[in-house]
Amino acid sequence: MRIGLIGAGLMGRGMAASLLAHGHEVAFTVHRNRDGVDALAAKGAREVIGAAGLAASSDAILICVTTSNIVERQIEALKPHLRKAMIVLDAGTSLPEVTRRIAGDLAGIGVSYADIPLTGGPEQAARGELGVLCGADDHTFRTIESLLKSIATTVRHMGPVGSGHTAKLISNFLVTGMAALVAQSFAAARAAGLEWKPLYEAMLNGSGNSGVLRKMVAPALSGDFDGYKFSVANAAKDIGYYRDLAAKLGCDGELAEAVALVFAKALETGDGGRCVSQMLNH
């Protein structure tokens, strides 16, 4: 299949490399940052100009950007150039109601839409070992299932359009909550004069052992506070989206409010582009 990529960042480039390795063609556009795209081109991906060039080169468009607002802007630019029977996939973490609105709009011109948010980070993307939480109608899911298996070892069809983003926001609520707990727990250990290494090693044997704990703390013990490559700004955005979702579902939002406050304070201390594991360094 011919895939057009919007968002050639760490995640996008990793997915593109996996798609190329599985025999798919990849075209991409770059707006500002050329980091890594030359290496992607060397693997066989082709750079094209603008939305028109991307749509003309593709059967499916893969969007990997950070917010629903950016997704909407990309769809607005793409829409005049999309053809009937094309498929657009949103791999970011977006608001489910925006996803459903876009899907309804594109259905009017015969274009299918699927939300395919991801579990895993850049390392998993580079190895083709992501998880996918897919929201799509049954026909679209069957059409893209083998494509998704080119980038992921776990692919789950969560239900109709919007279901994938709903599941992802719930998953990221858990992740951001754990990151906040890890940061504050080790801040308390520092204040108490406890050494982190023996505390961490003991935690690995307990119920607190988790991917978040290991990604944040293990590298920090050697002075690397960028071990968990998930930005503070994206974490703050995701917990904000989850709060919106929880309110619409009528779920208790007290814990979400507390987690959101942790990340709001982290944003105030510096660049939102910092990794969440940098919260250990304050």
Measured CA to CA, the distance from residue 36 to residue 9 in angstroms comes to 8
Q: What does the domain layout of the chain look like in residue ranges?
A: 2-160, 166-281
Measured CA to CA, the distance from residue 73 to residue 45 in angstroms comes to 24
Residue 282: predicted pLDDT: 77
User: What are phi and psi for residue 133, nearest 5 degrees?
Assistant: -110, 100
How many residues would you count in the chain? 282
Measured CA to CA, the distance from residue 11 to residue 233 in angstroms comes to 16
Residue 34: predicted pLDDT: 76
SS (HEC) of 213-267: HHHHHHHHCCCCCCCCCCEHHHHHHHHHHHHHHHHHHCCCCHHHHHHHHHHHHHH
- Looking at the structure, give the CATH architecture of the domain made up of residues 166-281: Orthogonal Bundle (1.10)
The helix/strand/coil state of 8 is coil
Residue 161 has a CB neighbour count (10 Å cut-off) of 25
Residue 253: predicted pLDDT: 87
Measured CA to CA, the distance from residue 99 to residue 105 in angstroms comes to 10
pLDDT tens track, the chain, 282 positions:
999 999 999 899 999 999 999 999 999 987 667 778 888 999 999 999 999 999 999 999 999 999 999 999 999 999 999 999 999 999 999 999 999 999 999 999 999 999 999 999 899 999 999 999 999 999 999 999 999 999 999 999 999 999 999 999 999 999 999 999 999 999 999 999 999 999 999 999 999 999 999 999 999 999 999 999 999 999 999 999 999 999 999 998 899 999 999 999 999 887 789 999 999 987
User: What are phi and psi for residue 155, nearest 5 degrees?
Assistant: -125, 120
From residue 223, alpha-carbon distances to 122, 173, 215 in Å are: 21, 27, 13
Instruction: Report the percentage of the chain scoring pLDDT > 90.
Output: 90
Please, are residues 86 and 58 in contact by the beta-carbon 8 Å criterion?
Answer: yes
N-terminal to C-terminal alpha carbon distance within the chain: 47
Q: Assign domain 2-160 to a CATH class.
A: alpha beta
The helix/strand/coil state of 119 is strand
Please, are residues 113 and 102 in contact by the beta-carbon 8 Å criterion?
Answer: yes
